[in-house]
Amino acid sequence: MRALIGTTAGVMACMAGMATANPVIDGQLGSDSYGPALFVQNQPTSYGNNVAGVGGSSGNPAAVTTGMEIAIPLSAIGNPNPAAGIKLVGFLNNGGHSFLSNQVLGGVPANSNHLMEPRNVNFQTLGETQTLTVFPQNRAAAPVIDGQLDGGLGGYYGTLLFTQTNYTSFGNSTLGQVGPANGSEIDGLYAVVSGGVLYIMLTGNNWDFNKPCLFFDTIPGGQNRLLFGNSNQGNLSRMSENPSGAGNGLTFEAGFDADFYVTAGGGNNPYILFVDYATIPTDPVATPPAQAFVGSNASASGTMTPGDVGAPAIIVTNDNSNTQGVTGIPSNVSTPSPDFAFGSEIDAVYGKVEGGVLFMLVTGNLETTFQKLDLFFDVDAAEGQAQLLGTNVDLEFNGLNRLGAGGNGTAGAGNGVAFDTGFAADYFLSVTNGNVPVETYANAATLRTDGALFSSGFVLDYSAFDGGLKSANNPIDFSGTYADDQDFSSADPINTDGGPRQTQIQGVPVGGLISVAINNSNVLGVTGTDGTPSVAGAAAVTTGVEFSIALAELGWDGGAIRVAGFIAGGGHGDISNQVIGGLPTPIGQTFAPGLGEPTLVDFSTIAGNQFVIIPTGPSCGSTDFDGDGDEGTDADIEAFFLVIGGGACPTGTCGSVDFDGDGDEGTDADIEAFFRVIGGGPCQL
């Protein structure tokens, strides 16, 4: 056989003639020749099962009796007279207070999307009314602070003061447990006063360190627009005026001038809450605000771990049991749909290398609430991060670094997602979708062993981002229309809509290195973890997230390509149980729970491999090259040479296909040996 085949390069040129058509990046398996699945899901999804139906049709927010319960001394908010009414504004923000949801007290018009950048939000322009004046009834005895509505509906708390009319853009929780959830929503508001303390019950769910934010207008003065100079406690300054001009500060309705601010957010597994407080003076530069970290709560009880000395005696607890409030999909859409999904799941993984490009399809769904499919690629044996650092590029509201060392920014933060032994991530791709009309986005970054490249404090690595309305970004093509120059005058990230590694060639942005599409049509696959969990349908799913990345853009060194990944919460602050490679099911349980806080996840301590290996060479398979049903004959070898070289095998020299010399012919071992002889490397078995 050595005499028949020339050089390795010549053989590889011949092998190009055997290449199949590249997959079409459309989120569908279709006729794409991926070959068999590299992984099939073994866990029902902890992030909600996508089912056929009408969005918003199953929600009942007025019936919810659990959520976040808050006790605030009236003295901490200016000693208002409850009988005269207490004016407040509240909403649900993301973990960094940089992405305002559609969960707003007072409401926004039905089917409204995220309000997004808080600094650009002006409640005077939204319709409805976002200022509530509540008249809490006085009670002789205080409630039990446990996140539950004492006495149920119509009990201790009395009248429901606000009922949510909009779906939640932060995910619908389906787990039904006190601690970890898989979505956040505000379903209703109750309030009473007892013993000089205001008790507020926000029914719903709180997860992923999303933050219910409460503002009180109870004394003269205050701010109608949040100004520069406000406290950074609870990231209040992140919602306030930006001196660079990027957003002029969150603006309340006319007649509401915020004086006090309380916020709390929870996550992790076990669940833990953190509470912050600040005053909002009329001129925060002339009169510095008071501020305090109030403390934390690691249980569903009224016992707080104290924070700063002198902090007001605010108590917050949370119960995430609700599953019957608002849904996570607008009421004017229905499924199955290529655009909308009620839940997220990874059903199977397909992949191949063709023509210098990695093609992959992750079947399943990605809930249309900006949940994330986070993917990591190990393609360079000399580079990469075995455990994610916190010094990578600022990508997707710093979501990449949220997964890295110290990412949750609070006590108990871990050292970052750690991968299986031998896996070191060199590249990151995150995919998400949400809003109505649907928007799809993808973010990409290189992962270097020591973190992002810096020079004198200025970042040199690019943050890559592309997407927008799905109607105009299907697929997302990373077209390479721009690449910021690093002029060493600003510490801001440098961005591109091309590939982050091969951003520019001779100063010209490069496009087409990455392509991503989402098809959310699946309503089969695995089920949710409620009811009777099942994974029976996982292998049959043919739609999901499909993408291609040029191998040069990945930084491939020619060796193995390993891919790890999982579905995460909208702020990358929670990892579900939908993990590539699968999770072991704990003894005595029917499914593995979600992994929770990312910085504490260590895949090397979890049984099995939480990654797949992508075939990078010819498929071994059968030696029946002429398709006549028998293998390893001279006719098969003749057909093989006709395919790869365009010409016949020399007459009388084809001989045996027992390339490994063990006496049997046409086996995978023979083909393995054949490719070692002609190419110097193994065929991908």
Provide the CB-side half-sphere exposure for 402 (13 A, CA). 25
- Residue 678 pLDDT: 45
Q: For residue 671, what is the DSSP state?
A: H
Contact 212, 186 (CB under 8 A): yes
User: Residue 428 — φ and ψ, nearest 5°?
Assistant: -130, 135
Contact 542, 523 (CB under 8 A): no
- Residue 530 pLDDT: 80
Q: Distance between CA atoms of 534 and 524, rounded to whole angstroms?
A: 10
Element at 676 (helix H, strand E): helix 668-679
Q: Which residues pair with 360 in a beta bridge?
A: 351, 547
Q: Which residues pair with 375 in a beta bridge?
A: 429, 565
> SS3 of 656, please?
coil
- Neighbouring residues of 286: CB distance < 8 A, sequence distance ≥ 6: none
Q: Distance between CA atoms of 621 and 207, rounded to whole angstroms?
A: 47
- Residue 208 pLDDT: 81
- Neighbouring residues of 405: CB distance < 8 A, sequence distance ≥ 6: 387, 388, 389, 390, 413, 414, 415, 416, 599
Tens of pLDDT, residue by residue over 111-138, are 888 898 999 999 999 888 999 999 999 9
> SS3 of 222, please?
coil
Which value, to the nearest 10 degrees, does the dihedral of the CA atoms of residues 423, 425, 428, 434 take? 40
**Taking the chain, what is the end-to-end CA distance rounded to the nearest angstrom?**
21
Query: In Å, how far are 210, 316, 354 from 301, measured between CA atoms?
Result: 20, 8, 57
Tens of pLDDT, residue by residue over 350-366, are 999 999 999 999 999 99
Contact 172, 341 (CB under 8 A): no
Instruction: Please tell me the pTM assigned to this model.
Output: 0.70
Give the residues of the chain that fall short of pLDDT 70: 1-20, 56-58, 409-413, 505-507, 617-661, 663-685
Q: Which two tokens stand for residue 614?
A: 């992508």
Contact 632, 602 (CB under 8 A): no
Q: Which residues pair with 465 in a beta bridge?
A: 443
Q: Where are the beta strands (DSSP E) in 96-218?
A: 100-104, 132-134, 137-138, 162-163, 185-194, 197-205, 211-217
- Neighbouring residues of 416: CB distance < 8 A, sequence distance ≥ 6: 387, 388, 389, 390, 403, 404, 405, 406, 407, 598, 599
